[in-house]
């Protein structure tokens, strides 16, 4: 079963950049050294996992690289690029020589050596040999560093690589220093035909390892932790020191869910940090299911089979939908998905901001009360309709948290820290007064009257 996540959620969490200048989670992790590695990284982030063994296996592999100081595969990127070019462009080729006519073949090959065709084949063959030699050494280096505790994913990959390199026609390459024209033609045939699938496996492995090394470097660079992902039956989430990786000097927060407290109701004034916190939590859940490290000091959660967020929803002018109607349709979509998949993390930021206060109050109360009855999923809902919180207190599984605001010298100070309870702070008019909006409008009127 695939992890359920839609494009709205990926946009909300900035998993991929929407334009060249925007930040993205993908960009944060992208320290890859080759295009194939970059494509692998993109694939890993595009499709989070629901298989617990696969998640743990990937996470262990990435952590192993970080813990043992691996930074790259020590494969020259120009060599790799040319090997890829050679494999892709099969129009550059040589006829396979025969032993019977070997002297004649050597004469013909010597004549061809000045041609572009021969140059590409010779350099391509030599490039692949260098890569095989380096990959062989890297497999043994992994074993040496592991001290007998090599992650299971590497054990499987190493076993397969060594099996391929035990094939006689491949084994002789491991100590080869120079290659003769006759052998160039021979190995052109071997690489293009006899060992094509095995070579493709090795190239894919290089890309996979490049992606893992990239993620490991990001984990070190940003101080991410490796999450503990538990079976679904645990039905809990605990995050210590969670933060958003895009925020410089970010303030971290702690949060916890379980079956008896699976809905988090977040209140707080404008600019207090609600949206940033919701995004940080969503990103962490997403990354944990991709087998990646997460922005937190400690993070553990039971497996969920999907993630759905509503943070940056907009009007749909083409369909004629208002903002409020778009919100209603999004809630309906979540309800439909929960009918099929009742084990999800659902995040809503500012429910029903697109309508009047009365409808927003009634809608928030109705939707949150309904979600609270679904104990098999996790829900996080922020709102500016704090009046609904009093009515919702009858639900024992709702955890009420708010963002703390302090007052210093008559001015509010944002701490960006979550605390227990419900916020009654209202800073809308304070912000309007601080920015001098009313005075500016009055100046416009004054100027118009004096003209």
269 with 173, same domain: the answer is no
168 with 256, same domain: the answer is no
Alpha-carbon span 118 to 100, nearest angstrom = 22
CA separation (Å) from 278 to 238, 242, 291, 350? 15, 10, 20, 11
Q: The pTM is what?
A: 0.90
Lookup: tokens for 310: 């509503």
206 with 236, same domain: the answer is no
188 with 241, same domain: the answer is no
Domain that includes residue 431, residue range: 228-446
235 with 356, same domain: the answer is yes
Lookup: tokens for 383: 């709102």
Question: Computed over its alpha carbons, how large is the radius of gyration of the chain?
Answer: 29
Confidence band of 21 (pLDDT split at 50, 70, 90): confident
122 with 210, same domain: the answer is yes
Q: Is residue 214 part of a domain?
A: yes
List the beta strands (DSSP E) in 360-449: 378-382, 398-408, 411-420
Q: Is residue 115 part of a domain?
A: yes
Confidence band of 56 (pLDDT split at 50, 70, 90): very high
Q: Is residue 6 part of a domain?
A: no
Tens-place pLDDT, residues 379-399: 999 988 888 888 899 999 999
Cα 324 to chain centroid, rounded: 30
Q: Judge contact between 52 and 3, C-beta under 8 A.
A: no
The residues pairing with 400 across neighbouring beta strands, listed in sequence order, are 265
Residue 100 has pLDDT above 70, yes or no: no
348 with 420, same domain: the answer is yes
241 with 259, same domain: the answer is yes
Tens-place pLDDT, residues 215-249: 999 999 999 999 999 999 989 999 999 999 999 99
CA separation (Å) from 403 to 103, 117, 238, 314? 83, 68, 19, 25
Residue 317 has pLDDT above 50, yes or no: no
User: What is the per-residue pLDDT for 116?
Assistant: 76
- Give SS3 for 220: helix
What is the overall mean pLDDT for the chain? 88
Q: What is the four-CA torsion angle of 244, 247, 248, 252, rounded to 10 degrees?
A: -40
Top-confidence residue, 385 or 203: 203
Q: Is residue 21 part of a domain?
A: no
205 with 327, same domain: the answer is no
- Strands 228-230 and 237-242, sheet pairing: unpaired
Q: Which of 178, 201, 222 is the last residue in one of the domains?
A: 222
237 with 292, same domain: the answer is yes
245 with 345, same domain: the answer is yes
- Give SS3 for 117: helix
DSSP class per residue in 288-330: HHTT--BSSSEEEEE--SBEEEESS---BTTTTB-HHHHHHHH
Q: Is residue 13 part of a domain?
A: no
Select from 77, 36, 75, 86 the least CA-distant residue to 192. 86
Q: What percent of the chain has pLDDT over 90?
A: 63
Residue 108 has pLDDT above 60, yes or no: no
Q: What letters, b where the CB count within 10 A reaches 16 and e where it falls short, cover 339-368?
A: eebebbbbbbbbbbebbeeeebbebbbebb
Residue with tokens 């227990």: 420
Alpha-carbon span 156 to 142, nearest angstrom = 12
Q: Is residue 9 part of a domain?
A: no
Mean pLDDT of 16-43: 94
Q: Is residue 451 part of a domain?
A: no
Tens-place pLDDT, residues 138-172: 999 998 988 878 999 999 999 999 999 999 999 99
Q: How many domains does the chain have?
A: 2
CATH code where residue 362 lies? 3.40.50.300
Q: Which of 199, 222, 245 is the last residue in one of the domains?
A: 222
User: What is the per-residue pLDDT for 316?
Assistant: 55
Q: Which of 222, 249, 280 is the last residue in one of the domains?
A: 222
Q: Is residue 23 part of a domain?
A: no
186 with 298, same domain: the answer is no
Query: Max CA-CA distance within the chain?
Result: 105
CATH code where residue 175 lies? 1.10.1420
User: What is the per-residue pLDDT for 104?
Assistant: 46
């Amino acid at each position: 079963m695939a992890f359920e996540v839609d494009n709205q959620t990926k946009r909300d969490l900035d998993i991929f950049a929407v334009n060249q200048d925007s930040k993205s989670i993908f960009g944060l992790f992208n320290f890859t050294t080759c295009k194939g590695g970059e494509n692998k990284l993109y694939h890993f982030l595009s499709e989070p996992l629901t298989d617990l063994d696969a998640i743990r296996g990937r996470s262990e592999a990435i952590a192993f690289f970080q813990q043992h100081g691996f930074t790259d595969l020590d494969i020259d990127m120009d060599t790799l690029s040319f090997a890829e070019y050679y494999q892709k462009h099969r129009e550059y080729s040589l006829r396979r020589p025969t032993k019977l006519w070997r002297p004649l073949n050597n004469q013909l090959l010597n004549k061809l050596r000045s041609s572009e065709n021969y140059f590409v084949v010779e350099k391509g063959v030599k490039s692949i040999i260098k890569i095989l030699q380096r990959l062989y050494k890297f497999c043994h280096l992994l074993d040496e560093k592991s001290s007998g505790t090599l992650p299971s994913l590497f054990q499987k990959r190493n076993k397969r690589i060594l099996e391929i390199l035990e094939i006689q026609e491949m084994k002789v390459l491991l100590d080869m220093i120079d290659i003769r024209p006759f052998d160039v033609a021979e190995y052109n045939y071997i690489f293009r035909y006899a060992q094509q699938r095995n070579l493709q496996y090795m190239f894919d492995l290089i890309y996979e390892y490049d992606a893992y090394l990239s993620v490991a470097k990001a984990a070190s660079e940003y101080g991410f932790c490796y999450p503990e992902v538990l079976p679904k039956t645990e039905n809990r989430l605990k995050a210590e020191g969670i933060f958003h990786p895009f925020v410089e000097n970010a303030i971290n927060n702690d949060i916890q869910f379980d079956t008896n407290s699976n809905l988090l109701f977040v209140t707080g004034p404008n600019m207090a940090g609600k949206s940033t916190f919701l995004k940080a939590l969503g990103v962490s859940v997403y990354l944990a299911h991709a087998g990646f490290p997460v922005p937190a000091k400690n993070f553990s959660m039971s497996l969920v089979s999907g993630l759905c967020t509503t943070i940056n929803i907009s009007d749909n002018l083409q369909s004629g939908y208002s903002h409020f109607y778009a919100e209603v349709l999004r809630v309906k979509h979540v309800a439909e998905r929960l009918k099929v998949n009742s084990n999800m993390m659902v995040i809503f930021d500012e429910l029903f901001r697109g309508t009047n206060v009365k409808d927003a109050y009634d809608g928030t109360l109705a939707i949150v009360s309904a979600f609270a009855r679904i104990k098999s999923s996790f829900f996080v809902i922020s709102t500016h309709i704090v009046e609904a919180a009093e009515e919702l207190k009858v639900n024992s599984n709702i955890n009420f948290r708010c963002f703390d605001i302090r007052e210093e010298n008559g001015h509010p100070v944002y701490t960006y820290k979550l605390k227990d309870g419900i916020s009654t702070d209202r800073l809308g008019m304070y912000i309007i007064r601080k920015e001098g909006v009313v005075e500016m409008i009055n100046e416009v009127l004054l100027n118009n009257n004096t003209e």
